[in-house]
Amino acid sequence: MSEIERTTSYRPRRTDSGDAELLGTERQSADFVQEDTWRVFRIMSEFVTGFEQLCRVRPAISLFGSARLAPGHEYYQAAEQTAALLAQAGFTVITGGGPGIMEAGNKGAFEAGGKSVGLNIHLPFEQTANHWQHLSLRFHYFFVRKTMFVKYSSGFVVFPGGFGTVDELFESLTLVQTDTIRHFPVVLFGSAYWAGLLDWLRTSVAGAGCIAPADMGLFRVTDDPAEAVQLVLDGLSGMLGV
């Protein structure tokens, strides 16, 4: 079993995150109906704090990937190098603020003298903030955090990861595909890792007419940190004056 694909035995997990709280997945009482209105103020406060703190970080690139890939892993090292090159190119690097690829991204930008931002999330397991962040924000709600990634990023570099990473990838592609946001660059790092997913998209999804063949051009794939940064710069050419 590969390091990336390793799994642990299933055990029930508490779903006491903000989103579970909002959706009422753990609630057995009707009392939550009276509480939901008040949650609006907590949601508003997270948006306000995020907007106030992140409005000065542009131009920025968000870097995504697994929390489970440790220092020394080839993708950790590549993410660290990519982030350093992004910082040297004048970009703030934004990550999810946790361990693994997120830590590599923050560390690479931090040590290269660039700005390093972490958008941390409250989880009942796994997520702890890394120590390589100039600005560290903590969110209770996933959907607020995801808004910050899209609103304040000029592009995404997506390293190998799990459900959360793929979620961020497909949300960004959906927003670009539907012209909800401008067509910013989305770069997938690790051609071997993403090959199966891309083959499925090409043969099954596009083959069935569920996406247009041209939609496969909404992202690029690379195995080289320098090329990843160049793909970002090429995708932004004329948009940011870079």
Q: Using one digit for the tens of pLDDT, what is the confidence trace for 104-135?
A: 999 999 999 999 999 998 876 656 778 999 99
Helix (H) or strand (E) holding 186: strand 186-189
Specify the pLDDT at position 192.
98
CB-CB contact of 168 with 160 (8 Å): no
Rounded CA separation 17/20 (Å): 5
Specify the pLDDT at position 5.
38
Tokens of 131: 């120590």
Query: What band does 3 get if pLDDT is binned at 50, 70 and 90?
Result: very low
Q: What percent of the chain has pLDDT over 90?
A: 73
- When comparing pLDDT for 38 and 221, which is higher? 221
Specify the pLDDT at position 21.
61
- When comparing pLDDT for 154 and 6, which is higher? 154
pLDDT for 128-180, tens place per residue? Answer: 778 999 999 999 999 999 999 999 999 999 999 999 999 999 999 999 999 99
Mean pLDDT, to the nearest integer, of 32-61? Answer: 87
Specify the pLDDT at position 127.
61
| Residue 82, pLDDT above cutoff 80 | yes
Rounded CA separation 120/127 (Å): 8
Mean pLDDT, to the nearest integer, of 60-86? Answer: 97
- Average pLDDT of the chain is 87
Helix (H) or strand (E) holding 60: strand 60-64
Q: What is the pTM of this model?
A: 0.83
Query: What band does 24 get if pLDDT is binned at 50, 70 and 90?
Result: low
Q: Residue written as tokens 């910082």?
A: 87
> Which is nearest to 173 in space by CA: 197, 192, 196?
197
Question: What is the domain partition of the chain in residue ranges?
Answer: 45-236
Specify the pLDDT at position 238.
55
Specify the pLDDT at position 242.
44
**What number of residues does the chain have?**
242
Q: What percent of the chain has pLDDT over 70?
A: 82
Query: What band does 20 get if pLDDT is binned at 50, 70 and 90?
Result: low
Specify the pLDDT at position 4.
42
The CATH code of domain 45-236 reads 3.40.50.450
